[in-house]
Amino acid sequence: MANETIVVDHVELKGKLLISDNEFYEALGRLIVSWQQVEIALADLFATLMQSDEFLSVKAHYSVMNFNTRLDMTDRVAELALHESDLKDDWGELHKRLKRYAKKRNNMVHADIGFNPLHALNATENFKYELVLIPFYVTFDMLSDKNKRTGNTFNTAKLREWASRFDQLWMDIYKLNVELRKELDLPEEILGSSWSQRAQLPVPEQKS
């Protein structure tokens, strides 16, 4: 990519963007949409666990704005509905992942957009940089340290990786939902969402 001029603290820096900004924003958009699929999958699972009118259950679930509160609602219902089910442990594992991933998602979505390295190692020309998400908890001291900066910011590659993890998560929720619906002798079709079509979407292998 050609050198570009950017301004940091009123100083012009000339450098090369390693990955296009279009790729960065595309990865960010995919991350947001992938997490939305997680929330849809959770709402549908909540409706199955309620074992009542599914449309009304989903509406009630979405009436709560905070995701962590909706997750707690689902967990409490699952505690009662699955107490004698072999699927109880499967939900327990998903619940833990949901809590961890929700925190990670919030760190990424509620972040500033900057570039790495922050001041291009004090170079004034011909440096290389990339756009990154900088979460609110990241301090300037952390950004000044290369290892801390890399570990606490999210570049295009990390956004893609987490989008894939979110994809795997919502597919696992739907699989649990299908198994639960079989156990309860309910139709496999989950509201307006076809699990069979969703399950055919390719999901990259994930790191443990």
Q: How far is residue 206's CA from residue 160's CA, in Å, rounded to a whole number?
A: 11
Alpha-carbon distance 89 to 45, whole Å?
15
Q: Hey, is 148 helix, strand or coil?
A: helix
The pLDDT, as a whole number, for residue 67 is 96
Q: With residue 166 as reference, give the H or E element that holds it.
A: helix 156-183
Q: Is pLDDT at 120 greater than 70 in this prediction?
A: no
Name the least confident of 109-118, 119-128, 155-164, 193-202.
193-202
Residue 125: beta bridge partners? Answer: 14
| R_g (Cα) of the chain, nearest Å | 21
> Does residue 12 surpass a pLDDT of 60?
no
What is the predicted pLDDT for the residue at 95? 98
pLDDT digits 0-9 by tens, 134-176? 888 877 676 666 666 667 889 999 999 999 999 999 999 999 9
pTM of the model as a whole = 0.79
Nearest to 114 by CA among 91, 88, 140: 140
Distance, C-alpha 85 to centroid of its chain: 28
3-state secondary structure of 89: helix
Structure tokens at 142: 């952390």
112: phi then psi, degrees, rounded to nearest 5: -90, 160
Kind and range of the H or E run holding 196: helix 195-198
Residue at 4: amino acid letter: E
Q: What are 48-61's pLDDT values in tens digits?
A: 999 888 888 988 99
